[in-house]
Structure 1
Amino acid sequence: MSHVVRSTALGAVVLALALPAGAHAAKAKPKHTVTVNTVDALPKTTLKNLSRSCGKSKSASRIRKRSTSRPTKNRVRTVTTYCSGGTRTVFWIQKVTKTVTVPGPTVTVTTPAAPAPTPTPAAPRDFRLTLLHNNDGESKYGVGDSIVNYGGVTRFKTVLDRLRGEAEGVPTAANEDKGTVVVTSGDNFLAGLNLRASFERRDAGQGSFYDAIALGRIGYDAITIGNHEYDFGPTRLAQLISSPELATVPFITANTDFSAEPSLAPLRASGRIADSTVVTKGGQKIGIIGVTTPDVPNISSPGPNVKFLADVAGIVNTEAERLTKAGVNKIIMSSHLQNLEYEKTLVKSLRNVDIVISGGGDELLAGQNDLLVPTNGLAGGPRPGTAGTYPATSTDLDGNTVPVVTTQGEYRYVGRLTVKFDGAGKIVETDAAKSGPVRVSALAADPDVVSPQDAFLKANVTDPLDTYKAALAANVIGTTEVALDGGNPDPIRIKESNLGNLVADGFRFAANRTAAADNRPVADIAFSNGGGIRTSIAGPGNLNEKQTFDVLPFDNVMVTVPNVSVAQLKSLMEWGVSRTPTGDGKFPQISGFRMNVSTNALYTAQVQTGTTITTPGTRVRDLWLTNANGSDGEQLIANGAVVSNRTVNIATSNFTANNGDSYPFTGTTFQFAHRPGQDGFYPYQASLYDFITTPGAAGGLGGVVTAARYPNGGSGRIALRTTP
């Protein structure tokens, strides 16, 4: 027999009928089916049509209506008829949209179901975020690369993994999710032996930068681009980003335009460099926006094609709004603006940013009970000063309190901030017990000494670097009778230093030894920016090749800037001392001249916008060229006034001559120096190496740095005073 099954807008209806006792199921296939659209649409002829389907027997003509049930809105109405000992039953309901013929003795019809209720949206869930962060790692991968007994990437990784495990093990409430985000806020590599070893390794086809191996192993969710990433030009940065170890980690900066730089534009187009990234932790989304200091062209070497946009607040607000509209309600700004106070001020112009990581300033935020790295690296050593408690806070445009966090760099600390967001994405609680700097100690006497080291990083980063550096340290190139002071900021960025004098003398020596061969003029004077001199040399004792790289680690080369007027020389020196006595990387360490400088309030510190002088300085009161024996020669400036119409030729680094540190070499050109017997330009590190090792008869030091020529505190080349 056949049964008619109808699907309705109310859902499928299921009904099973049993045949009455003695009834027989029809063996023939159904001749036809009847479709009923509404309850009232059953025509009187329907029964007659049905009777004809029963066959041609005489009993078929005596078909009669047996029973009828009245339908309700959702109930099936049935009509049952007899036919030759069997039955035929027609089913219909109020709405019918489809008719299906189903063979078999049993009818299955879907019972009308009530309309499905509209789903109730799940209540927004709270979120416990653990932010693990650091900044200014600066290629300091070994213990002691930063300070004795502390730091080191192998132990840093161990601490970070422990903190990550602790965060994952914290129980949560029924309506709460949790997750951990790991971010570095820039200056991830820095010139020095470690980075030089990385370059040599990659250039020889032996593998990626050691920096890439380390950063990849740490497991960052986002890497912010700082200023030092450009120290060797955009091509080296592109090589780092393209390393296979970092293929899944976005490099972020929202205020940088790479479109005209061939080495970086493809990485921006492919998403390897991005304005921001969104990570999902514990089922919830967290946005991370990157920012880089717009001052990069003045303090690094990005080349002419990379553009840095100054409207940081506007750019961040636009990106934060975009993320918010995309459903991200927890947003971190990872910035490398080089000043914690600047970032705190910036927050006042922001909205939709919940947390700020500050990079580049090397400030330390900590509580009274936090274990900190002693200033001398020794057990029981002096406790360092701090810039405030962790976290610092500021208030945004909408009146929300925004945590601002940072740590001292060089892998000495892992920063940890633990906060709770409510379902609307607002911070409602900071877990003070689980927030603050966590130091990285290798000192056995410390209660928090870190063990074990990460074995992978030890085998693939720190051990090979130790071998590389040991070979250079074994190459003794001379001796020094005195300690050579390159302390940062004091003295190298504040006042004259004997190491600064040695470096500047080396600049003049290197530029002049090949001047004739290069068809360059002989340099009358030389100077180095203090920021280009990176460490001290202990003494008395031996000098080795490694120390020359430690002191002068950048990829700078020697140049001569010819025919500089005395007026412009004065502007250059006024800019160099404009922030004295505050430490600044542009402070000049000089050779071939002497000057008197007064910081008295009667005299004006030079003010510039970029390299454009808006307020000329008047601090440089006197300036003399020096004779070969160190005595005063021609006076060029007297009582603040230019008294000579001559020009001078200046030896310096290409960084400074290219307006690095905003030195106003406006309208000048420079010529590169070449190292004798070698192709390519003259590395500024080699200027120190060659000056120390070259015999005295050829203008060098003959392997001895004497206390008479380079006494502690300098030899009076820059006389600073506070009196008029």
Structure 2
Amino acid sequence: MSHLVRASALGVVALALAVPGNAAAAKAKKPKHTVTVNTVDALPKTTLKNLSRKCGKSTSAKKIRKRSTSRPTKNRVRIVTTYCSGGTRTVFYIKKVTKVVTVPAPVPAPVPVPAPANKGFRLTLLHNNDGESKYVVGDSVNNYGGITRFKTVLDQVRQEAADEPVPGNLDKGTLTVSSGDNFLAGLNLRASFERFDAGAGPFYDSEAIGALGYDAVTIGNHEYDFGPARLAQFVAFETSGVPFLTANTDFTGEPLLQALRANGRIADSTVVEKGGQRIGVIGVSPPETPTISSTRNVKFAADVAGLVNAEAQRLTTAGVNKIVLSSHLQNTANERAVVSQLRNVDIVISGGADDLLANANDRLVPGAGNPVGPYPLVSKDATGADVPIVTTQGEYRYLGRLTVNFDKDGKLVSTDAAKSGPIRITADPAQPDYAKEDPGLKARVTDPLVAYKAALAANVIGQTEVALEGGNPNPIRIREANLGNLVADGFRFAANRTAVADGRPVADIAFSNGGGIRASIPGPGDLNEKQTFDVLPFDNVMVTVPNVSVAQLKSLMEWGVSRTPSGDGKFPQISGFRMNVSTNVAYTAQLQSGTTVTTPGTRVRDLWLTNADGTDGEQLIANGAVVSNRTVNIATTNFTANNGDSYPFTGTTFQFAHRPGQEGFYPYQASLYDFITTPTAQGGLGGVVTAARYPIAGSGRIAIRSTP
């Protein structure tokens, strides 16, 4: 497969950052402040000159009041232009793709060596996965994790490996790899966006990744949560130049990502030279990413084993005889299934889950749960060879270390168990493995993030009389939760605030996917602005889906409860209706191929609209049958309405909601903030979440039984 990269004569590719990508977004008014990324070979000197002039009485949106250029480098320059109208435009320029070029899907052939290595090789593989922007101690668990201490431990272990004596018949080297989900929605990432959009620097995430000295970084699913444009920014402005790997993605529909593939920042694989010998690293991303993230025009191939085998064969033919697969297939079981089909792959790093692999004497984070297997797991490949599989629990709680020996022909012959396993990252000074913070990374990344979050936490917006439960998976992905009820009520409230002004129908009901709700809120106690971002951290916005038939509503809810009682991100948290669900074997869990229903579900037995006082209104489904010909208007997020989590919104359209008094769309986080703070006379909660309205056990909106 080849990747074609096209650039215009000026090589300009713009990133629309104000709203999520959607055809309807093009109709929205442009914000006063815009950010653009252009790709160019060279800028005229006149463009780089600072400019200042008087506007007089002019309010022209084209006449420039001031232009300032800052921090020009060989590959990057930032120009901020202020117009007489008051609008501001920030433009980043990066190196351009100059013409239509053909870039082979694999990386360019590795630099040949005069002859095969005549020594064996001792490899120390250092790895982690699912860092997910959890940079500050306490972002994950108290007293453990944190990227500043992770870096300290990483540097120490690297040095230990470098200092280790080896026999004369062995070369040695250390390889460092991240296996995906390098950032995640939340306040840390939002701070990154604000910093970047203000032209104040790259993402904190880009800077953090750059400081760790990775040799390769796999692209997971969460990297797409804010769309391809944000991923392109993250990669383009990452500070170390590390290659980002994904062998099963097609970027031809996303010019910025395709340009990054063309210039080598994104690749199928990379070859790293360590201790005089070469190691190939191949990356793969989850094929189901389009259903769980916001990939827009990026396409994902499902034949992971076939693609990996082809790339491994290409590397082997080029003389690379030690190959690592860094995959993000969501759990070690998936990796084991793929390994059984592979050839020429020596080691697999698994990412995407929270699987803990550990041995008897490994120090573990308290409360981490029982290991799912030893470190490493060992599986057989298609030839019967043993392949070690490694992973760590994420969020910088562990550094994984696998130490293995290869013979001179590149065959993995042994694992050093004494120098292999998860290494926990602890901030507890009472522990023997206490790690100090790296001062440079602390000053550049974690200190600014702590200050950013403290400012939001200081803004008290109300009180709650009850703890609001959003635990993952229980309850938010398994059953009705009082926080889920609050969020869904906020959706309906927000969508209807400007429905008349927008020309949208009033929403009768609302629902949120459980996976869009990411934190609990303790109570009783104060509510602050930071908590609204913690609970609803993604870049989703509010929409109304009009004229949904009861039959389609039933199909949507059948899909939402199809995996109950197993935890699943599509489980619905609802508003404006209640339903009875049975998981008894007498009833069928809905099956789908993508968004196409192949086996209709029969678990939703009854469904009623509810009145404003919570009492039952019209019954729409009775004993599993549709009993009403009416339609309903649904408030939800653009993610869900766009078939996120494979919700079967087929044959429907949706309309964006707008926040009162603001341009642009209505962020789903703002729906919760506004619902809490708006006076009761205007339909809000007046600053108080009451235990009567949101009891901790739920209010009976979703009744799940296992009996017929």
Match of 2:567 in 1: 583
The 8 Å contact of residues 474 and 544 in structure 1, kept in 2 or not, is answered as yes
Q: Please list the CA deviations of residues 18-44 of structure 1 after superposition, one character each: whole Å capped at 9, or x if unmatched.
A: xxxxxxxxxxxxxxxxxxxxxxxxxxx
Query: Counterpart of 1:286?
Result: 279
CA contact (8 A) 2:583 2:707 kept: yes
Q: Which residue of 2 aligns with 1:476?
A: 460
Match of 2:682 among 693, 698, 703: 698
The answer to whether the aligner puts 1:297 opposite 2:282 as a matched pair is no
Which residue matches 1:349?
A: 341
The one-letter code of the counterpart of 1:572 is L
Q: What stretches of structure 1 move > 6 A for 4+ residues in a row?
A: 120-123
Conservation of the 8 A alpha-carbon contact between 1:367 and 1:436: yes
> Which letter maps to 1:223?
V
Q: Which residue of 2 aligns with 1:659?
A: 643
Q: Note the C-alpha offset of 1:287.
A: 0.4
Q: CA deviation at 1:124?
A: 2.5
Q: What is the letter of the counterpart of residue 284 of structure 1? A: Q
What is the letter of the counterpart of residue 391 of structure 2?
Answer: T
1:427 and 2:421 equivalent? no
Q: Does 1:459 align with 2:443?
A: yes
* Structure 1 equivalent of residue 182 of structure 2: 188
Provide the residue aligned with 1:94 in structure 2.
none
User: 2:585 matched to which residue of 1?
Assistant: 601
C-alpha change, 1:340 and 1:665, in structure 2 (3 Å) is same
User: 2:364 aligned with 1:340, yes or no?
Assistant: no
Please report the TM-score for the alignment, with normalisation by the length of structure 2: 0.83
Determine helix, strand or coil for the equivalent of 1:181. Answer: strand
Equivalent position amino acid for 1:415 in 2: G
Match of 1:171 in 2: 165
Name the CA shift for 1:689/1:124 in 2 (closer, same or farther; >3 Å). same
**CA–CA distance in structure 2, aligned partners of residues 515 and 171 of structure 1:** 71
| Cα distance in 2, alignment partners of residues 369 and 484 from structure 1 | 38
Q: Deviations over 1:235-264 (max 9, x none)?
A: 111111111513x20000000001221121
- Code of the residue aligned with 2:272 in structure 1: it is V
Would the aligned equivalents of 2:279 and 2:321 in 1 still touch at CA under 8 Å? yes
Give secondary structure in 1 for the equivalent of 2:255: coil
Query: Once the two structures are superposed, what CA deviation does each residue of 1:149-172 show, in whole Å capped at 9, x if it has no partner?
Result: 111000000111111111111111
- Note the C-alpha offset of 1:122: 7.6
CA distance in 2, matches of 1:721, 1:447: 49
Tell me, in whole angstroms, the C-alpha distance in 2 between the residues paired with 1:446 and 1:516.
Answer: 60
Match of 2:622 in 1: 638
- In the alignment, the residues of structure 2 paired with residue 142 and residue 165 of structure 1 have an alpha-carbon distance, to the nearest angstrom, of 24
Alpha-carbon distance, 1:468 to partner: 0.7
For residues 400-427 of structure 1, give each alpha carbon's deviation from its aligned partner in whole angstroms, at most 9, with x where no partner exists.
1111111111111101111111111111
State the secondary structure of the residue aligned to 2:442. Answer: helix
SS for the counterpart of 1:595 is: strand
Which of 663, 667, 674 is equivalent to 1:679?
663
Cα distance in 2 for residues equivalent to 1:266 and 1:204:
24
Return the alpha-carbon distance in structure 1 between the equivalents of residues 191 and 669 of structure 2: 15
Partner SS, residue 543 of structure 1: strand
- Residue matched to 2:191: 197
Closer, same or farther in 2 for the Cα pair 1:244/1:601, shift >3 Å?
Answer: closer
* 1:250 corresponds to which of 243, 246, 255: 243
Letter in structure 2 aligned against 1:473: A
Q: Which of these residues, 270, 280, 302, is aligned with residue 277 of structure 1?
A: 270
The answer to whether the 8 Å contact 2:607/2:621 transfers is yes
Q: State whether structure 2 residue 507 is matched by structure 1 residue 523.
A: yes
User: Which residue matches 2:99?
Assistant: none
CA distance in 2 between counterparts of 1:314 and 1:384 reads 34
The structure with the largest alpha-carbon Rg is 1
Distance between the aligned counterparts of 2:256 and 2:674, measured in 1?
34
Tell me the distance in 2 between the aligned counterparts of 1:425 and 1:574.
Answer: 52
The percentage of counterpart residues that share the same residue type is 76
Distance in 1 between residues matched to 2:281 and 2:155, nearest whole Å: 21
Structure 1 residue 368, shift from structure 2 partner: 2.1
Say which SS state the counterpart of residue 445 (structure 2) adopts: helix
Do structure 1's residue 143 and structure 2's residue 137 form an aligned pair?
yes
Alignment check: 8 A CA contact 2:117 2:277 kept: no
Which secondary structure does the structure 2 equivalent of 1:263 belong to? helix
Q: Identify the match of residue 218 of structure 1 among 209, 212, 217.
A: 212
Cα 1:295–1:122 change in 2 (3 A) is closer
Q: Measure the CA separation in 2 of the matches of 1:477 and 1:191.
A: 22
Displacement of 1:121: 7.3
Judge conservation of contact 1:134–1:411 (CA < 8 Å) in 2: yes
Q: Could you tell me how far apart the structure 1 residues matched to 2:415 and 2:239 are?
A: 34
- Counterpart check, 1:556 vs 2:540: yes
* Cα distance in 2 for residues equivalent to 1:511 and 1:122: 65
Structure 1: distance between partners of 2:675 and 2:207: 36
For residue 227 of structure 1, what is the aligned residue in structure 2?
221
> 1:123, CA displacement in angstroms?
6.9
Contact 1:372 1:384 in 2 (8 A): no
Contact residue 565 and residue 647 of structure 1 kept, 8 A: yes
Give distance in 2, aligned partners of 1:690 and 1:345: 47
| SS, match of residue 264 in structure 1 | helix
Q: Which amino acid in the other structure matches residue 677 of structure 1?
A: G
Residue of structure 1 equivalent to 2:606: 622
The answer (yes or no) to whether the contact 1:267–1:273 under 8 Å persists in 2 is yes
The 3-state SS of whatever aligns with 2:612 is coil
Does the alignment pair 1:513 with 2:497?
yes
Query: What SS class does the counterpart of residue 720 from structure 1 fall into?
Result: strand
1:392 alignment partner in structure 2: 377
Contact residue 209 and residue 238 of structure 2 kept, 8 A: no
SS in 2 for 1:245: coil
Distance, in Å, in 1 between the alignment partners of 2:243 and 2:640 is 32
Q: Deviations over 1:221-245 (max 9, x none)?
A: 0010011111111111111111151
- Alpha-carbon distance between aligned partners in 2 of 1:699 and 1:374, rounded to the nearest angstrom: 44
SS of residue paired to 1:527: strand
Q: In structure 1, the residue corresponding to 2:384 is in which secondary structure?
A: coil
Do the aligned partners of 1:345 and 1:394 also contact (CA within 8 Å) in 2? no
SS at match of 2:281: strand
Q: Which amino acid aligns with 1:393?
A: V
Post-superposition Cα deviations, 1:540-574, rounded to whole Å, max 9, x if no partner, equal 10000000000000000000000111111111111
**For structure 1, which runs of at least 5 residues remain unmatched after alignment?**
1-119, 376-382
In structure 2, C-alpha distance between the alignment counterparts of 1:406 and 1:713, rounded to whole Å? 36
* Correspondence for 1:11: none
Matched, 1:417 2:402: yes
Give the structure 2 partner of residue 80 of structure 1. none
> Residues of 2 paired with 1:616 and 1:702: CA distance?
42
Equivalent runs, 1:497-508 vs 2, <5 Å: 497-508=481-492
Within the candidate set 397, 405, 409, 2:390 is matched to 405
Distance 1:620 1:244, change over 3 A: closer
- Report Cα offsets for 1:10-67 as digits up to 9, x if no partner: xxxxxxxxxxxxxxxxxxxxxxxxxxxxxxxxxxxxxxxxxxxxxxxxxxxxxxxxxx
Distance 1:244 1:603, change over 3 A: closer
Q: What is the alpha-carbon distance in structure 2 between the residues aligned to residue 244 and residue 694 of structure 1?
A: 41
1:101-123 Cα offsets, whole Å, 9 max, x none, are xxxxxxxxxxxxxxxxxxx9787
Amino acid at match of 1:227: N
Match in the other structure for 1:89: none
In the TM superposition, residue 445 of structure 1 has moved relative to its aligned partner by 2.3
Equivalent residue, structure 2, for 1:115: none
Q: TM-score, normalized by length of structure 1?
A: 0.81
Q: CA RMSD in A?
A: 1.1
2:253 aligned partner: 260
Amino acid at match of 1:722: S
Q: Is 1:648–2:609 an aligned residue pair?
A: no
Letter matched to residue 242 of structure 2? V
| Equivalent position SS for 1:279 | strand
Per the alignment, do residues 271 and 122 of structure 1 end up closer, same or farther by CA in structure 2, a change over 3 Å counting?
closer
**Aligned equivalent of 1:533:** 517
User: Is contact 1:335–1:359 with CA below 8 Å preserved after alignment?
Assistant: yes
Matches within 5 A, 1:74-113: none
2:654 alignment counterpart: 670
Look up the match of 1:25: none
**Letter of the structure 1 residue corresponding to residue 401 of structure 2:** R
